[in-house]
Structure 1
Amino acid sequence: MSEQGTIEALHHEIGRLIVHDEAFLELPWTSLALVATMRDETTVQLHGYAYLEDGKTEAVTPRASTVAQRFVELHHAARERDPRPWKAALVQIWRSSAKVSFFFEYDDAARWKVTPLNYQTMREELRPK
């Protein structure tokens, strides 16, 4: 499989794993946002939000370690195509359309980092629109 084919397959697999993860199965979500921040070449930190039907937002991350493993694989595959690695990735998923979008940050690993000072604005910034 070509590098581009591998990257596209990993995008699809990551989206599928997120949607079917047990952390999200019981939630009445309309959209999801998940941030993957590379800590080093083999470790990724995940955090995200489920945007619920009632308008509430719940901080939640996948329970399966497979999601994090696939992000590491995606990072390695992307580096084969472009030696400048991304530092963070944002995945947004819309339930009604099954649309999955990926965005990558190459300069600022903390671009989508949630802190006690920014958590309210960040959960809205990450919300799929």
Structure 2
Amino acid sequence: MNASMTMDFDQAAADRALHELGQMVIADDEFAGKDWQGITLVIQVEPRKRMFGYRYTSDGKWEAATPEGRPAILKARELADAMKIPGKDGWKTCLVQISRPGPNIKVDFEYDVPNRWDVTPANLEARVEELRPR
């Protein structure tokens, strides 16, 4: 985003929701105290609510892993609501990538194609690698 663009949404509320989502994820029993170098979550808030994700370990392996679902999805919905610009469609799905050391968080938002990051049996290995935090 360049400096001449203005935010038409509540940046403080969005920042707060994103920070809380990140904290919620790394504090969840699925990740806290476990070996992980990266975490990826795909959280869809429209047209339906769903989440899937992966824990990437320091040895390069991965396994399916998500935090307890309802609170994380509700926090993502809060983030989407905070980012909504009046008169425009909000994002439908977000890609959350958390990496160590840090932890650092990177988020990408999909406004048009809610299934953009879907994983299928045919694309499993390639997609999981594509979603690995860098």
TM-score, structure 2 normalization: 0.86
The answer for the alignment partner of 1:84 in structure 2 is: 89
The Cα offsets for residues 66-93 of structure 1, whole Å up to 9 and x where unpaired, read as 1111011111121246722111100111
- Between the aligned partners of 1:120 and 1:105, the Cα distance in structure 2 is 22
Three-state SS of the structure 1 residue aligned to 2:19 is helix
- What displacement does 1:112 show? 0.4
**Does residue 106 of structure 1 match 2:111?**
yes
Report the structure, 1 or 2, having the larger helix content. Answer: 1
**Does residue 37 of structure 1 match 2:48?**
no
Question: Which runs of no fewer than 5 residues in structure 2 stay unpaired?
Answer: 1-8
TM-score, structure 1 normalization: 0.89
Question: Could you say if the C-alpha distance between residues 72 and 95 of structure 1 is closer, same or farther in structure 2, counting changes exceeding 3 Å?
Answer: same
- What displacement does 1:44 show? 2.1
The answer for the alignment partner of 1:58 in structure 2 is: 63
- What displacement does 1:65 show? 2.2
The answer for the alignment partner of 1:73 in structure 2 is: 78
The answer for the alignment partner of 1:96 in structure 2 is: 101
Question: Which runs of no fewer than 5 residues in structure 1 stay unpaired?
Answer: none
Which of the residues 111, 119, 123 maps onto 2:124?
A: 119
- Between the aligned partners of 1:45 and 1:82, the Cα distance in structure 2 is 25
Residue correspondences, number: 126
Q: Is the 8 A contact 2:46 2:93 kept in 1?
A: no
- Between the aligned partners of 2:32 and 2:70, the Cα distance in structure 1 is 16
- Between the aligned partners of 1:122 and 1:71, the Cα distance in structure 2 is 22
User: Runs of 4 or more off by more than 6 Å in structure 1?
Assistant: none
Could you say what the CA RMSD is over the residues aligned between the two structures, in angstroms?
A: 1.7
**Bigger Rg over Cα:** 2
